[in-house]
Amino acid sequence: MKMVETLLDICGIGRRRMALRWVSAAEGQLFADTVKELTKSTQELGPFDAQEHRLQLAAIEGALKSPRIRWLTGMDRHLTERGNVYNEKIDLETFQKMEREVAEDEYQKALLLEALREGPLSVREMAARTGLPVYTVSLKLNDLERRGLADLKGFEGSTPKFIRLAA
């Protein structure tokens, strides 16, 4: 859930759009208070247009499927309390910073892959569709090409166009 919240923040939707509370059936008042709190929060945020955020939501889903995020999720206690294979512990702040960087990296790559579902795009077209800077698109696209997830389709004039490859 922490990773989903982080990804919601990264994409601009915001973590307040999601909530998880554990309440027992025997805790009637706590349940009622929780429902009131979540209802108030939802009303303050206003309506959510999932279609408007279709690209971001699909990218979050793609990022959550990435091996890096799947491995990293839940490793905080292991790496901060027990240590890695060399018995080196990572302080919690460093781990959280690394976790955020990985989430951002995987989200951006998933966002580009989602944009490429629409067909061949240039780097500038991907930047326009995703809101990512051209330089970031270029860096992430390079990684996607190395991993065999995207490739050069051809040229439109002198502009290279890229496609998503089946993964």
- Tell me, what's the pLDDT at 138? 97
Alpha helices for the chain (secondary structure H): 2-11, 28-45, 54-64, 67-72, 76-77, 92-116, 123-130, 134-146
pLDDT in tens, 14-35: 998 888 888 887 888 998 998 8
Kindly state the DSSP code that residue 15 receives in the 8-state scheme.
Answer: G
Residue 85 is predicted with a pLDDT of: 87
Name the residue with tokens 């999932």: 50
Tens of pLDDT, residues 110-160: 999 999 999 999 999 999 999 999 999 999 999 999 999 999 999 999 999
pLDDT of residue 167: 62
Instruction: Report the number of distinct structural domains present in the chain.
Output: 1
pLDDT at position 115: 97
Q: Considering the chain, what is the average pLDDT of its residues?
A: 93
Q: What is the pLDDT of residue 21?
A: 87
Domain extent for 86: 2-164
Q: How high is the pLDDT of residue 74? A: 83
Q: How far apart are CA 10 and CA 161, in angstroms?
A: 27
pLDDT tens digits, 82-118: 888 898 999 999 999 999 999 999 999 999 999 999 9
3-state secondary structure of 111: helix
Residue 2 CB contacts under 8 Å (≥ 6 apart), including other chains? 73
- Reported for 131-140, long-range contacts at CB under 8 A and 24+ positions apart, including other chains, are 132/108, 136/108, 137/112, 140/105, 140/108, 140/109, 140/112
At residue 13, does pLDDT exceed 90?
A: yes
**Which residues does 25 contact at the CB level (< 8 Å), separation at least 6?**
31
> Phi/psi of residue 161, each to 5°?
-120, 140
Q: What is the CATH number of the domain that holds 75?
A: 1.10.10.10
